[in-house]
Amino acid sequence: MAEPNREGGVGEAHANHVAHHFDTAEQQFESGKLGMWIFLATEILLFGGLFCAYAVYRSNHPEIFVYAHRFLDKTLGAINTAVLICSSFTMALAVRAAQLGRTKALVRLLAATIALACCFLGIKGVEYEHKWKEGLLWGRRFHATLEQPAGAGNAVVQPSAPAGMNPEERSLIPPAAVGPRGLARPGQRAPGDEELGPPKNVQTFFAVYFLMTGLHGVHVIAGMIVLTLMLLRARRGEFGPGYFTPVDLAGLYWHLVDLIWIYLFPLLYLIR
């Protein structure tokens, strides 16, 4: 976005960065910032589609999500969350360093942010590899053999319809005191009775998991490319108190990438 007009070489740091169609540097900065916020809105809407799909499938088939989320590694997910939060912190410090004109600190902090992003992707790679080996994949590629936990079936009291009543109307009957809560329909299990064995269509959860984390991963990579460009420009000493818009905007983008993960982690790993 609002990139500087580089035709004029160095010198007069302020005027150089103002493109010909802007009156002042402030107008240019504000335009860049507004543009970035609008772009971030489009990113949220892009992920919004996936969050929507998540909500639809989880509300239609909660048993799949409750059952399948146990195959995700909570520890690695938590570590990754911490890693990303740390990277947001270093990014915020980098923006501060750019504003204060501390070029050396800026370069170091950007490098730290990129390193943390690499760390995140590495851990994510380990997780993906486990899933791949066990065949816990999406839709057509799903080929894991799901275990039948011992003592399946009989232990749980199911709400049942009195004789002569249409089984479709079972949901009219209040749940038994010890039984699973909520409505029961034929072929669907209520959340909480995963002891009955794997539900149908477990692959749906992994489709959602790989789509959401995959798209997020692509955004992490895009962010790393942007941060690397910032790093190179920072080393040339392009940023200072008079001009730090690109670092600021890259920072906004990076925070958004972190924020999305902060929603993904509980939605996928911490289901109850």
Partner 1 sequence: MERDETTTAGANPPMGNALGADNYLRHGRGLKSWLFTLDHKRIGVMYLVSILASFLLGGVFALLVRTKLLTPGNSALMSADHYNQMFTLHGAVMIFLFVIPGIPAALGNFVLPLMLGAKDVAFPRLNLASYYMWVIGAVMALISMTTGAVDTGWTFYTPYSTTTNTSVIMMVAGVFVLGFSSIFTGLNFVVTIHKLRPAGMTWFRMPLFLWGLYGTAIIQIMATPVLGITLLLLIAERALGVGIFDPALGGDPVLFQHFFWFYSHPAVYIMILPAMGVISELVSVFSRKHIFGYTFIALSSIAIAVISFLVWGHHMFVAGQSNLASMIFSALTFMVAIPSAVKVFNWVATMYKGSIWLATPMVYVLSFLFLFGIGGLTGLFLGALATDVHLHDTYFVVAHFHYVMFGGTVIAFLGGLYYWWPKMFGRMYSDLWGRVAALLIFVGFNTTFFTQFVMGSHGAPRRSYHYLPEFQRYHQLSTLGSYILGIGFVIVAVNLIHSLFRGRPAPANPWGGATLEWRTASPPPHDNFATTPVAGDPYDVEAWRYDRTIGGFVPRAAGDSPAVG
- Give the whole-angstrom CA distance, residue 106 versus residue 94: 5
Q: How far is the CB of 16 from partner 1 (least distance, A)?
A: 16
Q: How far is the CB of 2 from partner 1 (least distance, A)?
A: 7
- Give the whole-angstrom CA distance, residue 252 versus residue 86: 15
16 binds partner 1 (CB under 8 A): no
CA 97 to chain CA mean position, Å: 27
Among 68, 196, 208, 257, binds partner 1 (CB under 8 A): 208
110 binds partner 1 (CB under 8 A): no
103 binds partner 1 (CB under 8 A): no
Which tokens sit at 225? 């490319």
Q: How far is the CB of 206 from partner 1 (least distance, A)?
A: 9
Q: Are 254 and 227 in contact (CB under 8 A)?
A: yes
Judged by beta carbon, residue 45 or residue 155, the one nearer partner 1 is 45
Q: Which of residues 29-58 bind partner 1 (CB under 8 A)?
A: 30-31, 34-35, 38-39, 41-43, 45-50, 52-53, 56-57
Judged by beta carbon, residue 20 or residue 133, the one nearer partner 1 is 20
126 binds partner 1 (CB under 8 A): no
201 binds partner 1 (CB under 8 A): yes
Among 89, 128, 138, 263, binds partner 1 (CB under 8 A): 138
115 binds partner 1 (CB under 8 A): no
Q: Are 67 and 202 in contact (CB under 8 A)?
A: yes
Contacts of 4 (CB under 8 A, 6+ apart): 16, 17, 18, 19, 238, 243
Choices 109-117, 135-143, 168-176, 243-251 (CB under 8 A): range interacting with partner 1: 135-143
The site map against partner 1 for 55-84 (x = CB under 8 A) is -xx--xx--x--------------------
Q: Are 88 and 258 in contact (CB under 8 A)?
A: yes
Pairs from 184-188 (Cβ < 8 Å, separation ≥ 24): 184/158, 184/159, 188/61, 188/63
Among 8, 15, 27, 262, binds partner 1 (CB under 8 A): 27
Q: Where are the alpha helices (DSSP H) in the chain?
A: 13-16, 25-60, 62-68, 74-100, 103-134, 203-235, 245-269
Among 7, 11, 21, 166, binds partner 1 (CB under 8 A): 21
Among 7, 59, 140, 155, binds partner 1 (CB under 8 A): 140
Helix axes 103-134, 74-100, angle to 10 degrees: 160
Q: Please, what is the Cα angle at 75 between 69 and 80, to 5 degrees?
A: 100
Q: Burial letters for 35-49: b for 16+ Cβ neighbours within 10 Å, e otherwise?
A: ebeeebeeeeeebee
Q: Residue numbers of the site for partner 1 (CB under 8 A)?
A: 1-3, 19-21, 27, 30-31, 34-35, 38-39, 41-43, 45-50, 52-53, 56-57, 60-61, 64, 138-141, 200-201, 203-204, 207-208, 210-211, 215
